[in-house]
Amino acid sequence: MALSGNETLPPPQHIAIIMDGNGRWAKQRGLPRTAGHAAGAESFRRIANYCRSLGVRYLTVYAFSTENWKRSQEEIAGIMRLLRRYLEEALQDMEKNRVRFRFFGDLSRLSPALQKLCLDAQNRSSEYDVQVNFCLNYGGRDEIVQAARQFALQVAAGERKPEDLTEDLFEHYLYSAGIPDPELVIRPSGEKRVSNFLLWQSAYSEYVFMNVLWPDFTPEHLDEAIAEYHRRNRRFGGT
Ligand code: FPP
């Protein structure tokens, strides 16, 4: 396994990324926002491959939030097209790449064609080890509400009692059920906000905010984020 950020320490097993700054990247070049998202999708491919080479087990990316529906029809359609294209390719190259796919979010609002691609990708990749979690029509608050609703329905049906609920049990109702929490959450683009991303799961994560737009994010930036994570870990780890 390659080591990164620090020559002796392994990388975090779960890294989560808010892929922010595509719009500004496009604007700086006088291009439509969709071109920024296309460059962002390329950046994702590059970073996903690099994470795999480092031995990172889980990569979770914020691809479309519950709030992103407020954007123009054209921009939404552009992002959905990129996701469709990516998943079609991933399905074709499944045996070569051996990546497991999971989707966090309420997929019911996506087009039937995209929903089917998500389900196919999830079902056909279930035995692979390295995992990419796509957050699609995802919101952290929405995730917690849908989890609470599922539990309430089970209580109403007599299958559970209110006092059964613990943090461990609650996690079973989240999209991330069975997946370890991310140790590191990265937000490029200079914004220093959580933006409704993995609210439950990032309770103890290290956040690294970086001044680079997502389409310009390189493996060296990831090394830098991991090095920062290790510095923080080493500072607090001894107590
Ligand atoms: C945030 O940047 C980015 C998004 C809302 C969309 C992210 C989507 C992709 C990177 C493409 C998805 C496809 C694949 C295959 C991963 P922003 O548009 O808010 O940037 P800005 O803050 O500069 O306007």
pLDDT in tens, 114-169: 999 999 999 999 999 999 999 999 999 999 999 999 999 999 999 999 999 999 99
Mean predicted lDDT score pLDDT of the chain: 95
30, amino acid identity? G
| Average pLDDT estimate for 204-226 | 98
98, 87 contact by CB (below 8 A) = no
- Whether ligand 1 lies within 6 angstroms of the CB of 197 is answered as no
> Taking every pair of C-alpha atoms in the chain, what is the biggest distance, in angstroms?
59
- Whether ligand 1 lies within 6 angstroms of the CB of 22 is answered as yes
pLDDT at 1: 46
Inter-axis angle of helices 219-237 and 33-54, nearest 10: 60
pLDDT at 237: 53
Pocket test for ligand 1, best of 24, 25, 37 (most atoms within 8 A of CB): 37
pLDDT at 104: 98
CA 220 from chain centre, in angstroms, equals: 19
| Rounded distance between C-alpha atoms, residue 236 and residue 232, angstroms | 6
How close is the Cα of 41 to the center of ligand 1, in Å? 8
Q: Is residue 123 annotated as part of the catalytic site, yes or no?
A: no
Q: Give the atom of ligand 1 at the shortest distance from the alpha carbon of 62.
A: 7
How close is the Cα of 87 to the center of ligand 1, in Å? 16
Torsion angle, alpha carbons of 100, 103, 104, 106, to 10: -160
Closest residue by Cα to residue 185 from 165, 209, 169, 157: 209
| Token pair of 141 as six digits | 């608050």
Give the predicted TM-score (pTM) of the model.
Answer: 0.94
- Whether ligand 1 lies within 6 angstroms of the CB of 79 is answered as yes
Q: Give the atom of ligand 1 at the shortest distance from the alpha carbon of 36.
A: 18
Backbone angles phi, psi at 85, to 5 degrees: -60, -45
The confidence band for 8, taking pLDDT boundaries of 50, 70 and 90, is: confident
Q: Ligand 1 atom 22: the closest Cα is on which residue?
A: 21
pLDDT at 125: 97
Tally Cβ neighbours within 10 Å of residue 58: 23
pLDDT at 202: 97
| pLDDT tens profile 124-134 | 999 999 999 99
Residue 224 has pLDDT above 80, yes or no: yes
Q: Is residue 68 annotated as part of the catalytic site, yes or no?
A: yes
| Average pLDDT estimate for 212-219 | 98
